[in-house]
Amino acid sequence: MDGTGQELGTLEELPPDYVDQLTKQYAAPAWPSLRDIIPYDRPVCRTQPHIWRYADLRPLLMRAGELTPMEKAERRVLMLSNPGLEPAPFATAGIFFGLQLILPGEMAPNHKHSPSAVRLIVEGEGGTTTVEGERCPMEKGDVILTPSGLWHEHEHLGAGPMIWLDALDAPVVVPLEASYCVAGTPQRPGNQPDASQTRYRRSGLVPYDGLGRPANDYPLKRYPWVEVRAALLDMAAGAGSADPVHLAYVNPETGHECMPILGFSAIMLRPGEERRLPRRSASTGYLAVEGEGETEIDGTSMSWQENDVFVGPTHAAIRHRNGSSKNPAFLIQVDEGPMQRKLGYYEEFEITD
Ligand code: GTQ
Ligand code: FE2
């Protein structure tokens, strides 16, 4: 039964010889399965609300460090695979999440690929990602871009494990048969600080020599968490108590979202704050950068702590609650908003109940 009360014709109603002839021509009638392609009112989602707890995954990631040397891994990553999407190793229909480990003295070799990756730094000190010759230090909470087609390699000269969450748009690029990689030779980065410390030190200021020229696609690769956290706290101080404290990571030259497919933003939940989001057409993933709380996605409640990762499907109802009445909590949000807006089908739905 469909939304108009009308039954669509089935395959069984058609003469078998007709269906046979169609099949031989590699063709098929759409109407028996039209509602699979365009269901009424809401997409059919296989992605389930799910949480990956850092306390459970960290020991397994450390074990990967013992079991598999860098030469055998290229990237030592545990893929966060949504139970509803198996066997595809994707966190949501649009987001690949991987937890990556490099150990002191190790190097993840230079390469570039068509999917874009973004690093959300979870733990450790002394690691760097070099992107097209720009060496970006990795500090907890930092967001570091390695966009499509740009050379990148990781190195760890510090002590202790270096761990981060990779967010890739691979679930979009792979099914479209456009995903591939090129192996490179080691980059030779200089010792100068990355652009977040120099040319793009402060929002609202851009290098004068770029005025009047086409904007750069990725002028800023690293968004230091110390700056983002301070900006959220200052935003909260100036905002009304009911206003969301939510900042998007953008290209400082254009003001547009920092990546073309996946969107990145940082949320602060005030002490004790509960926030209901409008349902949105994009799927969503979160990294809990600091604090603890509870998030309900389509009726599934998940309590999270620092470094936990959790996701929900497209069109989901989401409600966050900061579990502390004393301290703020901070989340980094990932979604396919930029892609959906470009393609013209991004939507937000009013909260009705
Ligand atoms: O660090 O370059 O999780 O190429 C998957 C593919 C990380 C990376 C992933 C990659 C990388
Ligand atoms: Fe890569």
Q: What is the pLDDT of residue 352?
A: 76
**Ligand 2 centroid distance, CA of 344 (Å):** 29
CATH number of the domain bearing residue 331? 2.60.120.10
Q: How many domains does the chain have?
A: 2
**Do 28 and 2 fall within a single domain?**
yes
**Residue 62 buriedness (CB in 10 A; 0-12 / 13-18 / 19+):** middle
pLDDT tens figures, 159-212:
999 999 999 999 999 999 999 999 999 998 888 999 999 999 999 999 999 999
Q: What is the pLDDT of residue 351?
A: 80
Q: What is the pLDDT of residue 5?
A: 64
Q: Nearest CA to 53 among 305, 295, 289, 263?
A: 305
For the Cβ of 115 lying below 6 angstroms from any atom of ligand 1, the answer is no
Query: Looking at ligand 1, which residue's alpha carbon is closest to its atom 11?
Result: 75
Closest ligand to Cα 96: 1
E strand or H helix at 66, and its extent?
helix 54-67
For the Cβ of 152 lying below 6 angstroms from any atom of ligand 1, the answer is yes
* Segments forming the whole domain that contains residue 125: 50-349
User: In sequence order, which residues have a C-beta less than 8 Å from that of residue 64 and are 6 or more positions away?
Assistant: 73, 76, 78, 101
- C-alpha 263/C-alpha 20 separation (Å) is 46
**Ligand 1 centroid distance, CA of 288 (Å):** 21
CA 258 to chain centre: 12
For the Cβ of 153 lying below 6 angstroms from any atom of ligand 1, the answer is no
For the Cβ of 77 lying below 6 angstroms from any atom of ligand 1, the answer is yes
- Are 337 and 280 a contacting pair, CB within 8 Å? yes
**Do 37 and 140 fall within a single domain?**
no
- C-alpha 301/C-alpha 179 separation (Å) is 35
Q: What is the pLDDT of residue 34?
A: 95
**Do 6 and 85 fall within a single domain?**
no
Q: Sign of the CA dihedral 279, 281, 286, 290?
A: negative
**Do 207 and 64 fall within a single domain?**
yes
**Do 156 and 14 fall within a single domain?**
no
Identify which of 61, 70, 75 to mutate to test ligand 1's pocket (most ligand atoms within 8 A of the CB).
Answer: 75
pLDDT tens figures, 62-82:
999 999 999 999 999 999 999
- C-alpha 81/C-alpha 294 separation (Å) is 21
**Do 75 and 131 fall within a single domain?**
yes
**Ligand 2 centroid distance, CA of 351 (Å):** 39
**Do 36 and 166 fall within a single domain?**
no
pLDDT along the chain (353 residues), means of 10: 73 97 98 95 97 98 97 97 97 98 97 98 97 97 98 96 98 98 94 96 95 96 98 96 96 98 98 96 98 98 98 98 98 98 97 76
Q: What is the pLDDT of residue 264?
A: 99
**Do 148 and 269 fall within a single domain?**
yes
**Do 247 and 265 fall within a single domain?**
yes
What does the DSSP 8-state code read for residue 106? -
**Ligand 2 centroid distance, CA of 118 (Å):** 10
**Do 33 and 128 fall within a single domain?**
no
**Ligand 2 centroid distance, CA of 105 (Å):** 19
For the Cβ of 100 lying below 6 angstroms from any atom of ligand 1, the answer is yes
**Do 201 and 300 fall within a single domain?**
yes
For the Cβ of 75 lying below 6 angstroms from any atom of ligand 1, the answer is yes
pTM value is 0.96
**Do 26 and 148 fall within a single domain?**
no
